[in-house]
Amino acid sequence: MSVQFIENKNLFILSCAKLSCAFYVDANKRLVHLHFGGKVLGEEGLVPQEIRKGHSSFSPWADGEKPEDSADALPLEFSGFNTGDFRINSATVLTENGSAATDALYVSHHIYKGKKRLAGLPSAFAGDHDSVETLEITMRDTACELEFILSYSVFEECNTIVRSVKAVNNTASPLVIRRLMSAQLDLPHTGFDFVQLSGSWSRERHPERTPLHSGIQSIRSVRGASGHQNSPAIALAAHDATEYSGDVYGAVLAYSGNFLIEAECEQYGTARLCAGINPENFSWMLAPGESFETPEVYLTYSGEGLGGMSRNLHDFMRSHLIRDGWADRKRPLLVNSWEAAYFDFDSVKLLGIAESAAKLGIEMLVLDDGWFGARNDDTTSLGDWFVNTDKIGDLGELVKKINALGVKFGLWFEPEMISEKSKLYQEHPEWVLHEPGRRRSIGRQQMLLDMSRPDVVQYLFETISNILHSANIEYVKWDMNRNLTEVYSDMLPPERQGEVAHRFMLGVYRLHEMLLKEFPGLLIEGCSGGGGRFDAGMLGYVPQIWCSDDTDAMERILIQLGTSYFYPVSTIGAHVSVCPNHITGRSTPFATRGNIALSGTFGYELDLTKLTEEDQALVRKQVADYHRYHHIIAGGDLYRLSDSFKVNPFDAWMYVSKDRKEALVTAVCRFCQPNSGVRFVRPRGLDPETVYEVDGMQVSGATLMSVGFQAKLEPGDGASRIYYLKAL
């Protein structure tokens, strides 16, 4: 059993292959945390911790309890507000009389096989895994009869526990949720580094590692999207943890809107982690009988360093988050029209690209921005989802011609956006997010539709569906090129305006669900100016996300390796683009651009009709490499072989098949250094007893992992090579 309840001790033990979590119900009905970390065998040693020493008047306890019962000193699974615990908390709820005091005590629990899906939110699923078990604990604030249902789903084989919270108003009066976090984790010391992914547009998800210190450290978004600046995922790594060893705790929030993940080092030398919807400008009115569910948090532990944490999360998301049929399916190898033509194209141009694609073995043409309304630049037509026939003719006929070449077809949309110069805005100006009496913000010449409105979501579903039904469109690139401002909706009264940002996100998720129900085989790639909404929430609907608008191969090393700390390589949209690169102006060898893009979904972002014969030959080789190595890259275990927290002159990473019979190493010289000596690569994850063939040598896995092999690269910046290892 992965969930146990020891009744005589009121003790819960949740167990994975290499992870255990334990907590108990104390005499005052609080849920007290005991352990989250390495696997424990049995209940021995799982005993209440001695109360932390301090001046008790400053850590108060409830009337009728003892000083050692102070909520301010206990490690808790769920904490309230203004009732004695002064740390960051799980829940703050405003009652009808204006009180924000919130407390919750244990009432009951329920253990069952499998896992429920959340309503309206991305949700992990058990699938065919009989080992998945869920514990639901009902807590109650006795002062107002508000219930909190804490959910723990244990995914044993992935060393991951999925947590969420549901609030249920059983009172006769409305309540207002001011803060409701999805998960809280109390850890027994503060000896951790805070590992996060940060950056900006075209420089997303660079890993950063800083020691925890007194006070609160956090990452967040108030942009209405998870954002380019911080990804909603963090790790707490022991100071001595490396890529390959040491204790690491990972937390990934499956949410695509305003989020908050924070860690507090408090007075008694312990650390508390909370993750969930950002409470800034958030409130939710809960009428009698209504409930509110939080997004999920995926918690994992690894004693095998940051790499072990990553592999846990990769396995979990591939098996239990990415929708059925896509986790392991080879994605169509595509060329996107954006950097090939921008807005300047017609049917002749597109057919030319498709013909070149067919000759080179590229399987899909994706028509990016500019095919709809009167769209010839970025000032017009967003929201007018009808074909610009003057520009490309009949879409159905164009797609038939492209399909006749043996090439599939995909199309770009930006559903959440609207242009002032559009028919839609003329007909429905009230559909735009706006604050009455305030100036309107413009970004990229566009405004935002109020996705909290059901009529807006229905309009988008109907117009997008009409396009998708009109032709054989097998792929959609879903973009979002600005963040939310003036977050106000005419549909809601003043006291409910704090709900708009979350309702906006629920509308986005709802539109995804509607489209996938109507078109179950449709492949949707997420995008937000590249990686501005690369998060586990979107991965619940889209099996891949455009990683960054920066396609410079040297820049992509750090972006893609950073992304891989929490997200599977199979979800990372990566393409070969033209040089000099359109963002950085850098030139990188064509072969290296392909080698780096192979560490993702792989495709092209250039005009295939302008390739030299030499480049065409390289494309054919890259296409062959994609098909040959896809199963190792997309389904194998990732090992980062160089320091991903800095820009290195030499980088290497590798993938190992699950049976450890094949592996692939990518080595890149980012910039050439004279007299730099011999570069050695030391693989990881191989079978020590197995002999592998690599670069003409036959070497045991033990020797390869201890000694390594020489990376023989051509001189020059950007030189690279892929090494294939096969068990003999």
Active site residues: 479, 549
What does the alpha-carbon distance between residue 618 and residue 521 come to, in Å, rounded to a whole number? 31
First vs last C-alpha separation in the chain: 39
Give the span between the Cα atoms of 22 and 34, in whole angstroms: 5
Structure tokens at 121: 């939110």
Amino acid at 372: F
Strands 334-336 and 364-367, bridge-based pairing: parallel
- Two structure tokens written together for 602: 């792989």
What is the Cα–Cα distance from 429 to 451, expressed in whole angstroms? Answer: 14
DSSP character string of 691-725:
EEEETTEEEEHHHHHHT-EE----SSTTEEEEEEE
The rounded radius of gyration (Å) of the Cα atoms in the chain is: 26
Both tokens of residue 638?
């990732």
- CA trace torsion 245, 251, 254, 259 (10° rounding): -130
Q: Cα dihedral angle (172, 173, 179, 180), rounded to 10 degrees?
A: 20
Extract the tokens encoding 67: 């000083």
Angle of the 553-563 helix axis to the 590-597 helix axis, nearest 10? 10
Cα dihedral 410/415/419/424 (nearest 10): 100
Q: How far apart are CA 357 and CA 117, in angstroms?
A: 41
Are β-strands 603-605 and 297-302 bridged in parallel, bridged antiparallel, or unpaired?
A: unpaired
Cα 669 to Cα 381, 573, 575: the distances in Å are 44, 22, 19
Show the beta-strand stretches assigned E in 39-132: 91-94, 105-113
- Give the number of other CB atoms < 10 A from CB of residue 661: 16
Structure tokens at 250: 């990972």
Instruction: Read off the tokens for 277.
Output: 């919807």
Between CA 441 and CA 486 the distance in angstroms is: 8
Residue 132 burial class via C-beta count within 10 angstroms: exposed 0-12, middle 13-18, buried 19 and up: buried
37 forms beta bridges with 20
Q: Which of 496, 569, 474, 478 is nearest to 532 (CA)?
A: 478
Sign, CA torsion 520/538/494/438: negative
CA angle 181, 98, 72 (to 5 degrees): 50
**Cα–Cα distance, 400 to 274 (Å, whole number):** 52
CB 189 within 8 A of CB 49: no
Dihedral of CA atoms 481, 487, 489, 492 in degrees, nearest 10, equals: 140
Going by C-alpha positions, the residue among 722, 573, 717, 574 that lies closest to residue 649 is 717
- How far is residue 289's CA from residue 54's CA, in Å, rounded to a whole number? 42
Tokens representing 19?
A: 């992870």
Contact predicate 122/297, CB 8 Å: no
Q: Assess whether the previous peptide bond of 580 is cis (omega < 30° from 0).
A: yes
Q: What is the dihedral of CA 219, 224, 225, 231, to 10 degrees?
A: 0
Q: Which residues pair with 520 in a beta bridge?
A: none
